[in-house]
């Protein structure tokens, strides 16, 4: 069964706007990761945030983690048409090796 | 190679046949993971390896599925007596080790279609 739920399922914005995607999960985690997937391709790792961290930045990406609410958000600022893809959150757990459980994903469309 | 390599990229086979999917991880990565992606089920964990051992096989859907890894490198995922519900994209990933909090590097997957 899926651990994470993401919303929205789909998001359509104009270039230059910001995109925010949310992820909620059910059980205690060790870390949470965000991945991007372009159509027909594998997943590309974007950012990893550990359970004792609250916020991380990487370029135009900002991720927050609220373990009390069991939720995370991914913000993409100043979006570009090339950001069009599906975005997945994935949770990792203590004592389960590197196994990740993925959410259902958010399909982002950025219109030029 | 520079990234995770999977073969074949596409496989079409008849129901009841056996199939073998191959994954070549990034050199030096000791951990290797198999996932399955389908429209109905999303991305599902199948199994992971640390070296040649598989500490967690909990995601394998049935005993028709098996996987092995030899030499701490290449892994094969075998599906016996394929069924139509096995149609999906099978993704392989690798990471430096199976210690917690490691980013995973994915191949482009094998798209399996069962007729």
- Tell me the per-residue pLDDT of A7-26, one tens digit each, with 9 for 90 and over: 999 999 999 999 999 999 99
- Residues with Cβ within 8 Å of A100's Cβ and at least 6 positions away in sequence, in order, are A33, A90, A91, A92, B33, B45, B104
A105 and B42 in contact by Cβ < 8 A? yes
The mean pLDDT value for A28-56 works out to: 95
Which residues pair with residue A85 across a beta bridge? A108
* Nearest CB partner across the interface for A99, out of B4, B56, B91: B56
Angle at B36 between CA B89 and CA A65, to 5 degrees: 120
B26/chain A closest Cα distance in angstroms: 14
pLDDT in 10s for each residue of chain B, 115 residues? 589 999 999 999 999 999 999 999 999 999 999 999 998 778 999 999 999 999 999 999 999 999 999 998 999 999 999 999 999 999 999 999 887 689 999 999 999 999 9
Distance separating alpha carbons of residues B67 and B102, to the nearest angstrom: 22
- CB-based contact (8 Å) between A106 and chain B? no
Predicted local distance difference test score (pLDDT) of residue A1: 46
Residue A94 has pLDDT above 90, yes or no: no
Nearest chain A alpha carbon to B6: A42
Nearest chain B alpha carbon to A2: B44
Report chain B residues whose CB lies below 8 A from the CB of A50.
Answer: 101
Length of chain B counted residue by residue: 115
Predicted local distance difference test score (pLDDT) of residue A40: 87
- CB-based contact (8 Å) between B30 and chain A? no
| For testing contact with chain A, the best of B25, B26, B103, B107 (most A CBs within 10 A) | B103
3-state secondary structure of B86: helix
- Four-point Cα dihedral B91, B95, B97, B101, nearest 10: -100
- Residues with Cβ within 8 Å of B46's Cβ and at least 6 positions away in sequence, in order, are B33, B34, B35, B36, B57, B59, B60, B61, B65, B67, B77, B90
Nearest chain B alpha carbon to A5: B42
Predicted local distance difference test score (pLDDT) of residue B81: 98
CB B23 within 8 A of CB B102: no
Distance separating alpha carbons of residues A103 and B110, to the nearest angstrom: 21
B108 and A42 in contact by Cβ < 8 A? yes
- CB-based contact (8 Å) between A40 and chain B? yes
pLDDT in tens, A96-112: 888 999 999 999 999 99
Predicted local distance difference test score (pLDDT) of residue B1: 52
pLDDT in tens, A64-91: 999 999 999 999 999 999 999 999 999 9
Predicted local distance difference test score (pLDDT) of residue B96: 93
Predicted local distance difference test score (pLDDT) of residue A3: 65
Length of chain A counted residue by residue: 112
């Amino acid at each position: 069964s899926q651990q994470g739920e993401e919303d929205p399922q789909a998001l359509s914005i104009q270039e230059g706007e910001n995109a925010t995607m949310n992820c909620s999960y059910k059980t205690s985690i060790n870390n949470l990761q965000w991945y991007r997937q372009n159509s027909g391709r594998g997943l590309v790792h974007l950012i990893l945030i550990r359970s004792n961290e609250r916020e991380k930045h990487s370029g135009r990406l900002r991720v927050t983690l609220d373990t009390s609410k069991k939720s995370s958000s991914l913000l993409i600022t100043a979006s570009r048409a090339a950001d069009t893809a599906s975005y997945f959150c994935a949770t990792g757990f203590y004592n389960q090796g590197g196994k990740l459980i993925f959410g259902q994903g958010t399909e982002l469309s950025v219109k030029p | 190679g520079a990234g995770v390599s999977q073969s074949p990229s596409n496989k079409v086979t008849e129901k009841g046949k056996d199939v073998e999917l191959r994954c070549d991880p990034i050199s030096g990565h000791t951990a290797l993971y198999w996932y399955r992606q389908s429209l109905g089920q999303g991305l599902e964990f199948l199994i992971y390896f640390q070296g040649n051992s598989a500490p967690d096989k909990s995601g394998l859907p049935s005993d028709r599925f098996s996987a092995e890894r030899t030499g701490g490198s290449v892994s094969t995922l075998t599906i016996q007596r394929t069924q139509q519900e096995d149609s999906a994209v099978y993704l392989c990933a690798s990471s430096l080790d199976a210690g917690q909090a490691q980013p995973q590097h994915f191949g482009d997957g094998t798209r399996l279609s069962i007729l």
